[in-house]
Structure 1
Amino acid sequence: MELPLNIKKLSSENQSKATILAFALIPLSGFATDVYIPSLPTMSRELGVSDLQVQLTLGMFLISYGVAQLFVGSLLDSFGRYRIGLISLFVFALASVVIANTANIYLIYLMRIIHGITVAAIVVSKRTFFVDVFSGDKLKNYLSMFSIIWATAPIIAPFVGGYLQSWFGWESNFYFLAVFAMIILVLELSFSGETIKQKMEFSFRKIASIYIDMVSTASFTLGIVMLGLSYGMVMIYNMTGPFVIEHHFGLSPIAAGYSSLLLGGAVMVGGLLGKATINKPFIAKLSVNIGLQLLFVVAMLVSVNFVANLYSMVFFAFIIHACSGYTFNTFFTFCLSRFPKNAGIASGLTGGINYVIVSFLTYGVIALIPAKDELNLAYSYTLLIGMSILIMFVIVRMNKRNLQ
């Protein structure tokens, strides 16, 4: 199927600029959650709702973001990336402005669902941009950079959000998101364009068969489960850490922002190590990584009896999050490169199932183990690390069976 003549194609002279813009949008999902993390306790107080209700704004985003990715990939493969991305950026900015101007928690839930859908379209379209434009080792190199670039959000966003909260109030976080989206929209109109070479026929039967083939590939599906468990550890802290820091330790939103900045750096460190060891034996490096996580979470559980303060909590969380970043980088690169002929669907399924797992898993864990103190955070980590060990055991068994 040929591209319609009225859709602007990406020109070769703008390819480098468009690549930078694509990388700039990869962390958007993180910005949409992490920038207002330091504001969660204030939002709960000023909106007159419970801590769990305001934490649900994160859950609403994660669920809609995850579910939307399950379907948006097929739309991008059938109708192209560029126009859908532009419309999504505009709607995302509009929803951000609505959130900043309402005190109705249910309207905020609705806008966060719209955030999730539009961010899914934006991020998946930019992941597929790289598969459209690059190939071979260059593509593999760019894919391995995704989790590293994505980790800039948990580094920068809470740091910025903590100061925005202290200076202008929680609403300023959503104005920040709106301005960011509009700036990128203008740059996209100026320098980017359509990258799909051949559109897939939009046939429900054909699309369904591709989905079934991907999901029934055990290595692909188990890889996504590992993504969900590794990112779930990061999100557990994001949803509970500010309450522990501000309520239990009695510190400010800026302190919460700095702590999230450090832990975002941990995810990036893990991603960088994952990229550096990209050619090392797959099972061996992941087994060592998860073993380190188990060792440090046990140390965290023991140390709480002797030392329990912000510094000890952030120290142990840093190591655990770095290991999570390593796991995430390794499996994300594997899953995205698994089905290059259907890059949009593979990207959508990878991100979609991952975020569905994360959203239900994290909300379930914090309902079971509330945001109270460092000990409860350690219990949450222990639960997810234990599940990761079980999945890795299945992967190792499958790998041995395939070698026989």
Structure 2
Amino acid sequence: MTAVTTPTPEADAGARLSRSGRLRFALILGGLTAFGPLSIDMYLPGLPAMAEDLSAANAMVQLTLAAFVVGIGAGQLVAGPLSDAYGRRTPLLVGVSLYIAASVLCALAPTVEVLIAARALQALGAAAGIVIARATVRDLFSGVAMARFFSALMLVSGVAPILAPIIGGQLLAVTSWRGIFSVLAAFGGLLFLVAAFALPETLAPAQRRPARLGSALRTYLGLLRHPVFLGCALTVGLAFAGMFTYISASSFVLQDIYGLDPQTYSFVFGGGAVGLVLMTQVNARLVGRFSQRSLLRTGLTVALTGTVVATVAAAAGLGLAVVLPAIYLVLGGSGMIMPNATALAMADHPDKAGSASALLGVLQFIVAGASSPLVGLFGESSAVPMAAIMAVFLALGLTSFLTLVRPRA
């Protein structure tokens, strides 16, 4: 890795925040970014029971994941420019309100088709929280300080994928999968109150951009022409697609193939999230001592190595004791990929942070949504399809990074 000797200064607003102020922002913004993992991971232990209850095939139930991921990507394309035009607070509160209503609809869904549609609406609401949280970080920080804050944000939001499947598994002991969506609706209500009363506006009126369709399209095209942004966005999207392949398939693979019950599965899934969170904090300590590009390359290499080991181990029938640590290696590498790629992608675009955050998110979630049905398409009788598809996505992510994200002179 390449050492860094000159740190990048913080943005003025972030520099003026006290330690308690930074902690408050980290908790609130972490809660907003937790919409995604909570909405995805909490109901994973209930997918087999959901398929039985709704008389639906596993592939149809997995579409509830794909609908959410595609919806959360598309929603960011709308929420990003709106937050650049009207500030961060108003679009955020509208989005959280939609999330609450859609979560109630999910809990009441009579068929899998209604559930898929409700999940798409739920995702549109969640998108506002995710994109505006990233944009708010860019409003406050720049350079190394921004990468460090994104790592701190992942510490807070990273608790969500650890706790979500555990909470979901335990909830299934006392309620059905419908009760899980009721809990998500309550979580949305709590975040609405916190955001309404404790999250200040971070985008001054003088810094706002008109909400015009033509202007938004030109901004998006300009971002896509920026090689570092495009390379980092593709890297994030492809790496997340590898992770999401595991997320969408792990419930069936670990329970149906390796025989774990929902409660054990929830703890095993949470264990991988622990590795992800720990690596984000290791990354936070390394940022400033090594370049973000070097750390990103290291994370991609580690994650790709884990997918290759998992594929070979599953094909050789070595069992969960070998496959699972390799998967954990993938998740650990992702803890270095996500904060560094996100910070690099947004670093050069302070004047359009909402749009940059939106485009970053839509590429991430749409690519991940496309990965969801692939495991079922290639077979669910072993862990090989899951691990091999993860390897392909990570290899493509590393290729995108090496091709587009070149060091500056």
> Do these two structures clear the TM 0.5 threshold for a shared fold by scoring above it?
yes
Confirm or deny: 8 A CA contact 1:99 1:111 kept in the other structure. Answer: yes
Q: Tell me, yes or no, if structure 1 residue 28 matches structure 2 residue 38.
A: no
Query: What TM-score does the superposition give when structure 1 sets the normalisation length?
Result: 0.88
Among candidates 365, 379, 395, match of residue 370 of structure 1:
379
In the TM superposition, residue 134 of structure 1 has moved relative to its aligned partner by 4.7
Corresponding residue for residue 355 of structure 1: 365
1:157 to partner: Cα distance: 0.6
Report which stretch shifted further, 78-87 or 383-392: 383-392
1:309 aligns with 2:346: no
The CA deviation at 1:47 is 0.7
Counterpart AA for 2:202: T
Report the CA distance between 1:133 and its aligned residue.
Answer: 4.2
User: Matches of 1:271 and 1:131 in 2, distance apart?
Assistant: 18
Letter in 2 for 1:313: V
> For 2:252 and 2:373, how far apart are their aligned partners in 1?
17
Measured against aligned partners, the alpha-carbon deviations of 1:144-186 in whole angstroms (never above 9, x if no partner) come to 3333333222111111111112221111110110111111222
Quote how far apart the aligned CAs of 1:333 are.
Answer: 1.7
Which residue of structure 2 aligns with residue 197 of structure 1? 204
Deviation at 1:341, TM superposition (A): 1.1
Q: What's the counterpart of residue 110 of structure 2?
A: 103
Over the aligned positions, Cα root-mean-square deviation in angstroms equals 2.4
Q: State the TM-score, normalized to the length of structure 2.
A: 0.87
Give the one of 226, 229, 242 matched to 2:238: 229
Question: Residue 267 of structure 1 aligns with which residue?
Answer: 276
Q: Alpha carbons of 1:389 and 1:91: their partners in 2 closer, same or farther (altered >3 Å)?
A: closer
Distance (whole Å) between structure 1 residues aligned to residue 158 and residue 256 of structure 2: 27
What amino acid is the match of 1:23?
G
Q: Is this contact kept in 2: 1:214–1:220, CA < 8 A?
A: yes
Given the alignment, which residue of 124, 139, 148 partners 1:117? 124
Give the Å deviation of 1:140: 4.3
Counterpart AA for 1:211? Y
- Which amino acid in structure 2 is aligned with residue 231 of structure 1? F
Q: Secondary structure at the match of 1:166?
A: coil
Match of 2:195 in 1: 188
Is the Cα contact below 8 Å between 1:18 and 1:191 reproduced in 2?
Answer: no
Q: 1:262 to 1:356 in 2, by over 3 A?
A: same
Counterpart pick for 1:342 among 345, 352, 356: 352
Corresponding residue number in structure 2 for 1:158: 165
Structure 1: segments with no counterpart, 5+ residues: 1-11
Per the alignment, residue 174 of structure 1 pairs with: 181
CA distance in 1, matches of 2:391, 2:363: 22
Query: CA 1:321 to 1:192, structure 2 compared with 1: closer, same or farther past 3 Å?
Result: closer
- 2:255 maps to 246
Counterpart contact for 1:147–1:271, Cα < 8 Å: yes
Residue 291 of structure 1 corresponds to which residue in structure 2?
A: 301
Code of the residue aligned with 1:197 in structure 2: it is A
Contact 2:223 2:356 in 1 (8 A): yes
Give the stretch that moved more between structures: 66-75 or 12-21.
12-21
* Residues in 1 aligned to 2:161 and 2:26: alpha-carbon distance in whole angstroms: 21
Q: Aligned residue for 1:68?
A: 75
Q: How far apart in 1 are the matches of 2:278 and 2:173?
A: 28
**Following TM superposition, by how much is the alpha carbon of 1:305 offset from its aligned partner in structure 2, in angstroms?**
5.7
8 A contact 1:70–1:353 mirrored in 2: no
Partner of 1:6: none
Closer, same or farther in 2 for the Cα pair 1:274/1:371, shift >3 Å?
farther
Structure 1 counterpart of 2:387, one-letter code: A
